[in-house]
Amino acid sequence: MVTKSRVCKGEYRDSIFLMRISQQLGSLDGVQQTSVIMATDANKELLRDAGTFTDEVARAGPNDLAIVVDAVSPERAEEAISKAMEMMAEAVKERAEEAEAVYKTLDSAAGASPDSNLVLISVPGAFAAREAERALELGKHVMIFSDGVSVEDEIRLKRLGKEKGMLVMGPDCGTAIINGIGLGFANVVKRGPVGVVAASGTGAQEVASLISAGPGISHVIGTGGRDLSDEVGGITMLMGLRALAADPETETIVLISKPPSPEVAKRVLKAASEVGKPTVVNFLGGDPKIIEEAGLTPAITLEDAAAKVIALQRGGKPRSVTFSADSDEIKKTAEREYGKIQPHQRYIRGIYSGGTFCSEAMLIARDLVGDVYSNVPLKPELKLEDSNTSKEHTFVDMGEDEFTVEIGKPHPMIYHELRQKRILQEASDPETAVLLLDAVLGYGAHEDPAGALAPTLREAKKIAGKEERYLPVIASVCGTLQDPQNLTAQEKKLKDAGVVLMPSNAQAARMAALIVTRGGAWNKIVRR
Amino acid sequence: MTVELLRKPKIINVGARNFHDSLKAQGADSVHVDWRPPAGGDREMVALLDKLKKI
């Protein structure tokens, strides 16, 4: 193996752009590992850990871009580096041809576009609060996509925003949709009367996509994952609720969050009950009683929240969904799959790109198959000793820092290599009974997630087949027909690879449980 | 203050160019800031400059 590097002095590029280049180089023949990064101390440390540190990179600084390639030969490595240089040059050329004004600072952009009202910030976390504060000073709402912002900064910014009447979505706010415009990672949804305030990005994407197939979405306001903690106090969720209350386009509301602190839950539920618009609340894994007591409609899953708000919107009685297809069809599908597995295949292995999908699936599976181990466990004692090694029923959130920023890899919603490896690893384990997956579409996400996963899933089935095992794969795709990747086309690619497609993450988790219990979970599922 | 935002978002995108491109593809009103780390990424220097600006 040969490591080659090239440093481009004073060449700053944003992290998403760099990830995309890195991802493309990774698919070249003979290339083992690539890093296209800004040569910050933290990134240099990652290269050192990966054993791909070079003298040239050692001399580079945080404003220098470094391309590092590990390949089977010097020629292959040089080819990859040239390809990266080409891609960068191409992007520069495209920009020049567009002849669109590009600004150096927020202030200059605001000067040129004085009636702009929202600043979307995705700079490195260490600088995000600074830009956000400036945006608020300029009287603009803020969405902070960046993570790595301290909770102290979050509180300070949200208090400042509240004082000025400005929304602060985030930090770590992955998704928002404002009047049909998707910001960050967002699906293309049908416009309609349902408003969403969500502390979870993928949670918001699932709910919005499902509602888009029904009455449609007015707005999705993201809060960031820490908003409903005691320290932050739900400032953004409360402001978001008020915004939807005052919005004439919004007739019904959905709130999504992990269970908030009791104090914050009380405040949010009280505010929601005073809005006067029918509201569905999903505190994932939380107690539905407090929601009912506030006169609001509780939902157990993301799909449940979507189904209930659709019913309320149509003036109907909200009812839970377990499976969309009829019972006989579901049982037949499950039977067809578990009829082919061996007695020693006993465990579900969930390999997730969306953190909320992983949590939701664990909550469902826990009640149907028992304990689920994870890197993001429901109980501390169920934490995997080693996140790279599954134990019994294991659901892994591959979007966690340990699989992304900490090892210098992009998020699994845009980069599939680590997930592909993990899928093959689980396929080799004779105890694996079912693989359970998600795929997320929309702006920001990978341009063809099903296309990236399908060959791996075929390979996984082949690996199991060589050892006389059959490997069921269950998946759900979060997205809409209007998304750039197109929901139907993505689902077809997975179906063609032998995957059992379910219409929601919750239904996929139930199907996996049904298969692993050889149909035994059926009574528990229908009783719920 | 949010009424105007929900009626018509006009966006300044600071950071990832990809988000600006997605906004444009959706027909949104967006301008892009080609952000670079201030003071060469030296955080102490940035804090100092910010302090000076406020005086």
pLDDT in the model for residue A387? 97
Question: Once rounded to an integer, what is the mean pLDDT over residues A207-216?
Answer: 97
Write down which residue in A273, A288, A313 finishes a domain: A313
Question: Once rounded to an integer, what is the mean pLDDT over residues A183-205?
Answer: 97
CB contact under 8 A, A127 and B10: no
CB contact under 8 A, B32 and A188: no
CB contact under 8 A, A103 and B26: no
Residue B8 touches chain A, beta carbons under 8 Å:
yes
Specify whether A10 is located in the same domain as A117: no
Instruction: From A306, A143, A300, select the one nearest A227 (Cα to Cα).
Output: A143
Distance CA A178, CA A504 (A): 24
Mind listing the pLDDT tens digit for each residue in A14-67? 888 888 888 888 888 899 888 899 998 888 988 998 888 999 999 998 889 999
Question: Once rounded to an integer, what is the mean pLDDT over residues A358-367?
Answer: 97
**Secondary structure, 3-state, A302-351:** HHHHHHHHHHHHCCCCCCCCCCCCCHHHHHHHHHHHHCCCCCCCCEEEEE
**Secondary structure, 3-state, A242-264:** HHHHHCCCCCEEEEEECCCCHHH
Q: pLDDT band for position A528 (50/70/90)?
A: low
Q: How many CB pairs under 8 A join A and B?
A: 157
Residue B54 touches chain A, beta carbons under 8 Å:
no
Instruction: From A234, A231, A226, select the one nearest A271 (Cα to Cα).
Output: A234
- In total, chain A counts a number of residues equal to 528
| Optimal mutation site among A22, A64, A120, interface B, most CBs of chain B within 10 A | A120
* Mean pLDDT of chain A, nearest integer: 95
Mind listing the pLDDT tens digit for each residue in A227-262? 999 999 999 999 999 999 999 999 999 999 988 999
Write down which residue in A284, A313, A342 finishes a domain: A313
Q: Domain range holding A350?
A: 327-527
Specify whether A203 is located in the same domain as A341: no
φ, ψ (nearest 5 deg) of residue A427: -65, -30
Mind listing the pLDDT tens digit for each residue in A143-171? 999 988 999 999 999 999 999 999 999 99
CATH number of the domain where residue A29 is located: 3.30.70.100
Specify whether A275 is located in the same domain as A408: no
Inform me whether the pLDDT recorded for A356 exceeds 90: yes
Which residues lie across from A175 on neighbouring strands? A184
Instruction: Give the one of A61, A106, A178 whose C-beta lies nearest to B12's C-beta.
Output: A106
Residue A429 located in a structural domain: yes
Instruction: Give the one of B12, B16, B41 whose C-beta lies nearest to A16's C-beta.
Output: B16
Mind listing the pLDDT tens digit for each residue in A257-295? 988 999 999 999 999 999 999 999 999 988 999 999 999
Specify whether A434 is located in the same domain as A465: yes
Q: Over pLDDT 70: what percentage of chain A?
A: 100
Residue A87 located in a structural domain: yes
Question: Once rounded to an integer, what is the mean pLDDT over residues A319-342?
Answer: 96
Number of independent structural domains in chain A:
3
Question: Once rounded to an integer, what is the mean pLDDT over residues A199-221?
Answer: 97
Question: Once rounded to an integer, what is the mean pLDDT over residues A198-219?
Answer: 97
pLDDT in the model for residue A4? 94
Q: pLDDT band for position A198 (50/70/90)?
A: very high
Specify whether A14 is located in the same domain as A130: no
Q: pLDDT band for position A319 (50/70/90)?
A: confident
pLDDT in the model for residue B33? 96
Inform me whether the pLDDT recorded for B36 exceeds 70: yes
Residues of chain B in contact with residue A15, where contact means CB-CB under 8 angstroms, are: 16
Q: Over pLDDT 90: what percentage of chain A?
A: 84
Residue B47 touches chain A, beta carbons under 8 Å:
no
pLDDT in the model for residue A464? 98
| HSE-up (13 A, CA, CB side) for residue A260 | 33
CATH number of the domain where residue A286 is located: 3.40.50.261
- Among all residues of chain A, which has the CA nearest to that of B29? A116
CB contact under 8 A, A104 and B2: no
Specify whether A59 is located in the same domain as A151: no
Write down which residue in A98, A132, A156 finishes a domain: A98
Specify whether A131 is located in the same domain as A75: no
Specify whether A77 is located in the same domain as A154: no
Residues of chain B in contact with residue A148, where contact means CB-CB under 8 angstroms, are: none
Specify whether A308 is located in the same domain as A407: no
CB contact under 8 A, A113 and B14: no
Residues of chain A in contact with residue B22, where contact means CB-CB under 8 angstroms, are: 182, 443-444
Specify whether A187 is located in the same domain as A239: yes
- Among all residues of chain A, which has the CA nearest to that of B40? A63
Question: Once rounded to an integer, what is the mean pLDDT over residues A364-371?
Answer: 97
Of the two residues B35 and B43, the one the predictor is more confident about is B35
ipTM for the whole complex: 0.91
CB contact under 8 A, A126 and B43: yes
φ, ψ (nearest 5 deg) of residue A58: -60, -35
Specify whether A389 is located in the same domain as A492: yes
CB contact under 8 A, A17 and B17: yes
Residue A111 located in a structural domain: yes
Distance CA B11, CA A524 (A): 48
Specify whether A221 is located in the same domain as A241: yes
Residues of chain B in contact with residue A241, where contact means CB-CB under 8 angstroms, are: none
Question: Once rounded to an integer, what is the mean pLDDT over residues A439-463?
Answer: 96
Residues of chain A in contact with residue B35, where contact means CB-CB under 8 angstroms, are: 14, 105, 123, 131
CB contact under 8 A, A145 and B16: yes
Domain positions in chain B are 2-54
Q: Give exposure, A66-94, as e/b (b: 16+ Cβ within 10 Å).
A: bbbbbbeeeebbebbbebbeebbeeeeee
pLDDT in the model for residue A46? 87
Q: pLDDT band for position B47 (50/70/90)?
A: confident
CB contact under 8 A, A164 and B2: no
Residues of chain A in contact with residue B28, where contact means CB-CB under 8 angstroms, are: 181
Question: Once rounded to an integer, what is the mean pLDDT over residues A304-316?
Answer: 96
> What 3-state class would DSSP assign to A137?
helix
Inform me whether the pLDDT recorded for A98 exceeds 70: yes
Inform me whether the pLDDT recorded for A498 exceeds 70: yes
Residue A453 CB coordination number (10 Å): 27
